Amino acid sequence: MLTEEGISGHVLGDKYKADKHSTLVLYHYKKDVNKPWLTGDFDFPGIISLHLVSVDSRDLYKVKKGDKIELIESLKEGDIYKVKLLKDNSRRPFYFLKSEDLKHF
């Protein structure tokens, strides 16, 4: 686990709080983080495209106002972060988040 500032400028161990209601989600699986962005990179026919980029809603956590996260680990050179949801009744020990989404905290 790194404690130094990463390429994206975020430091592992930093804590963030969602100050407003947003459409931000945390992903249960690392492989799901990039799925929504794949459609712009490749030109797949309709049904195949939906299958490849769909993320099951049961594998997401919708961030609510006041939720806090802590950066645990930097993955893919700072593009993805493994985060801990600082909540007593969190369903999972950690989630994944695209580094671009940290601007919403």
Query: pTM of the full predicted structure?
Result: 0.75
Q: What is the residue extent of each domain of the chain? A: 15-104
Q: What is the pLDDT of residue 8?
A: 57
CA-to-CA distance for 32 and 59, rounded, in angstroms?
A: 9
Residue 70 identity: E
pLDDT in tens, 16-68: 998 877 778 899 999 888 776 555 555 555 555 555 667 777 888 999 989 99
Q: What is the pLDDT of residue 53?
A: 66
Kindly tell me if the per-residue pLDDT of 87 is higher than 70: yes
CA-to-CA distance for 103 and 105, rounded, in angstroms?
A: 5
